[in-house]
Amino acid sequence: MAFEAFFIRHAESAGNAGLVTEDPGSIPLTELGLQQAEELGMSFPFEPSVIAVSPFYRAQQTAAPLLRRFPEVEVVTLPIQEFTYLAPERWRGTTAHGRRHAVEAFWSRGCSDHCDGEGAESFAGFMERVESALQWLQQRQAQKAVLVCHEFFIRAVLWRCFCPSLEKAIASMPAFRAWQQSAKIPNVSVTRVSLETDGRVGVTLPFGLHLAESIGE
């Protein structure tokens, strides 16, 4: 079975802007992010076959103008939310800068089964969630599926696609972190991923919609 999917990173959030946040799931978009979401909805170049949205608020806000534009398209909420690897309760009312030392400690540990506490997940659990999303796309043989999600999730999708197995993707956690830090996926950019029937994977690296007229063809 094959699929073709377009992964959209959410618009600029309060966390992206360096502001104080309370809970990973409730982080809102900034004013700029709301504008970016509206532009996404207006300029999206084709009608999706299905729109899957992360349950996190910033993704839901990003998707809202797209859903208004395509009211007849099937919409589902899938567990394609961001990787929450720090226990949220310990980090309420902090900024990304304030959490930096804890972030570095988590990745330096390099243990794929480590869970930081209630509300957090291990890297292994995160990659299993990514695997489930890819299986969902394969099972429905999705074509022109649009998934509104998050940077880490998109990175992990690409990582899994180019690893020979889920086990290998999990075991290579340190390499994933190094690669994840090598370049950023911009807000509201689109990453196209396809799986052919012969197992070949195709990827179009993240691009802005103003550069993406051909994706509607």
Q: Where are the domains of the chain?
A: 3-216
pLDDT at 204: 86
Residues of the chain falling short of pLDDT 70: 1, 207-217
3-216 folds as Rossmann fold (3.40.50)
Tens of pLDDT, residue by residue over 96-129, are 999 999 999 999 999 999 999 999 999 999 999 9
Strand order in the sheet with 201-207: 74-77, 50-53, 145-149, 3-9, 190-195, 201-207
pLDDT at 217: 38
pTM equals 0.93
pLDDT at 1: 63
Distance of alpha carbon 193 from alpha carbon 205, whole angstroms: 9
pLDDT at 205: 76
Residue 156 burial by CB count (10 A; 0-12/13-18/19+): exposed, middle or buried?
A: buried
Tens of pLDDT, residue by residue over 122-155, are 999 999 999 999 999 999 999 999 999 999 999 9
